[in-house]
Amino acid sequence: MAVVEMIRPCVDEPDRYTVHGELGSEVDLGRLADELPENATCSPGLGVARLKIGEVEVTLYGDGDFDARGVRDMDEAERLVEELTDLVSL
C-alpha cells in the first residue's frame, strides 16, 4: 500500500510542497527505463529515475520510495501516487 506525506514548503515556491512517499514495493528500474518519457532519466545501476509529471519533479528510487517537488496539495499528491503506481506496474 502506498504512503505519502507532505514534508515542507518548496523554498522557491512557498505555495507548493515537497512530498515523500513509498509505493509499497520495489521498482524494476531496468524495465521502467524503456517506459519513461523522453525527458526522463533513469539509472538502474544507481537505483534512481527522475521524471516530470505535469509540473511536479519526481525522483523515484528502486526501493519504491519517491520524492516529489512542486506538489500543490494532498489531493495532487494522492493523484501523483496513482500515476506512479500505474507507471511502475506496466
Q: What per-residue string of b and e applies to 47-72 under the rule 16 or more CB within 10 Å gives b?
A: ebbebebeebbbebbbebbbebbbbe
Q: How far apart are CA 67 and CA 7, in angstroms?
A: 10
Instruction: Measure Cα distances from 87 to 13, 17, 40, 84 in Å.
Output: 27, 22, 13, 5
Return the CATH fold of 3-88: TATA-Binding Protein (3.30.310)
Q: What is the pTM of this model?
A: 0.89
Residue range 9-51, pLDDT digits in tens: 878 888 899 999 999 899 999 988 888 888 899 999 999 999 9
The domain segmentation of the chain, as residue ranges, is 3-88
